[in-house]
Each structure stands twice: as C-alpha cells, then as structure tokens.
C-alpha cells in the first residue's frame, strides 16, 4: 500500500497555514452573465429537442417555466431567449449579491 502512496520512504511534512480568513468576493457581473448564458443555452437546447423529437415530450417540463410561449415558432424562440437572459442574469446577480453579503458577515 505504501508503494501506491509514493513509496516507502515518503514523508508528509505539515506546514503552518499562511492562509488568512479573507472574505471571498464573487463578481455580480460575471456570475449573472454566466447564469444567463447557461439558462439561454439550456432553453435553446430544449427548443432544438422539441423540433427534433416532439413526440418524446421531454421539452414540455422546461417550457412551462417561460410565460407567453405559444409553441415552436420564431416569436416563442425570441421571447424565450429574452426571458432566459433576463431571469438568468437576475438570478446570477442576486446570488452573487447574497453570497458577497454573507461572506463579509460570516467570512
């Protein structure tokens, strides 16, 4: 077993930690943009799945979260994409703000 862990002559040295407990900061813009991109890509993949395999019905649970969609038309595609960007950015930004606040208080 020692051979698997780096040989019989290996020694583990413990170093004193130089890490100071600094609060972690998350960029509101970066997290908001990241979540907006994730939700938008997920929506577009859902729409593609609805076009490719409409009989499977796997797209229906996702589409219920978007208001005003009428089906697989250009209007629904544009409306869903806009909603994905807005709500994804809102959620990501709000999560970052809450995280930064909590990190400063507890961090």
Q: What is residue 24's three-state secondary structure?
A: coil
Q: What is residue 56's three-state secondary structure?
A: coil
The overall pTM is greater than 0.75: no
Examine residue 17 and state whether it is found in any structural domain, yes or no: no
The pLDDT of residue 96 is above 70 = yes
Q: What tens digit of pLDDT does each residue of 61-92 get?
A: 777 788 888 878 889 889 999 999 999 999 99
Q: Whole-angstrom Cα distance, residue 43 to residue 79? A: 11
Q: Whole-angstrom Cα distance, residue 91 to residue 71? A: 25
* Number of structural domains in the chain: 1
Predicted local confidence at residue 1, as pLDDT: 46
Examine residue 77 and state whether it is found in any structural domain, yes or no: yes
Q: What tens digit of pLDDT does each residue of 13-31 get?
A: 556 555 556 678 999 999 9
Q: What tens digit of pLDDT does each residue of 38-57 get?
A: 999 999 988 888 888 878 87
**Average pLDDT taken over every residue of the chain:** 82
Examine residue 23 and state whether it is found in any structural domain, yes or no: no
> 94: closest CA among 24, 35, 23, 22?
35
| CB atoms inside a 10 Å sphere around CB 32 | 21
Structural domain range at position 58: 28-106
Examine residue 34 and state whether it is found in any structural domain, yes or no: yes
Q: Half-sphere exposure of residue 70, counting CA atoms within 13 Å on the CB side?
A: 5
């Amino acid at each position: 077993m020692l051979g698997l862990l780096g040989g019989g002559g290996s020694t583990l040295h413990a170093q004193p930690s130089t890490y100071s407990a600094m609060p972690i900061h998350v960029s509101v813009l970066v997290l908001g943009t990241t979540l907006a991109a994730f939700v938008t890509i997920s929506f577009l993949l859902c729409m593609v799945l609805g076009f490719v395999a409409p009989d499977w019905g796997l797209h229906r649970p996702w589409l219920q979260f978007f208001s005003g969609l009428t089906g697989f038309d250009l209007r629904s595609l544009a409306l869903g994409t806009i909603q994905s960007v807005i709500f994804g950015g809102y959620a990501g930004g709000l999560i970052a703000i809450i995280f930064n606040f909590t990190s400063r208080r507890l961090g």
